[in-house]
């Protein structure tokens, strides 16, 4: 199925790509998704609590959807996931989704701390370190 050789390429019989390019794509996809998450948080802070009655009001939904902040947040989240199709052809889907999910969570926590001044307890940052270790093992799994 997947071919690995000593020149650090990953791929199958249909094509190969260098590992570092795949990891750059995964990081970019995660970062774009994280930016969408932060904008979504800012938009939800602006909108406030939403009841089911309000959520099921199509007029309110359309008005909210086309608010620039909400639309941009949703667009970035969509682009982040849509762009993940590129590395899908070069690694297992579980490896890809796990890497993107962990990195998106890490980038979101870092951006949230930097820009929205959210304070996370120590156990969150321990989880970030564990996530980075998991990504290391995922990457090592691509090599052998």
Tell me the per-residue pLDDT of 7-52, one tens digit each, with 9 for 90 and over.
455 555 555 667 778 888 889 999 999 999 999 999 988 888 888 9
**DSSP states of 5-66:** -TT-EEEETTEEEEHHHHHHHHHHHHHHHHHHHHHHHHHHHHH----HHHHT-HHHHHHHHT
Tell me the three state secondary structure of residue 123.
helix
Amino acid 113: pLDDT = 94
Higher pLDDT, residue 114 or 143: 114
Amino acid 125: pLDDT = 92
Question: Residue 112: pLDDT above 70?
Answer: yes
pTM of the model: 0.75
The tokens 């949703």 sit on which residue?
74
Mean pLDDT of 79-95: 77
């Amino acid at each position: 199925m997947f071919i690995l050789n000593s020149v650090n390429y990953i791929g199958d019989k249909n094509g190969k790509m260098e590992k570092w390019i795949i990891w750059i794509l995964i990081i970019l996809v995660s970062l774009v998704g994280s930016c969408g998450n932060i904008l979504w948080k800012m938009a939800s802070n602006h909108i406030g609590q939403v009841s089911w009655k309000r959520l099921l009001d199509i007029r309110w939904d359309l008005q909210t959807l086309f608010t620039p902040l909400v639309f941009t947040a949703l667009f970035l989240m969509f682009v982040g996931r849509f762009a993940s199709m590129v590395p899908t052809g070069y690694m297992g889907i579980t490896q890809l989704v796990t890497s993107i999910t962990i990195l998106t969570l890490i980038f979101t926590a870092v951006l949230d701390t930097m820009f929205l001044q959210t304070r996370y307890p120590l156990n969150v940052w321990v989880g970030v370190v564990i996530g980075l270790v998991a990504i290391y093992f995922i990457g090592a799994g691509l090599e052998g």
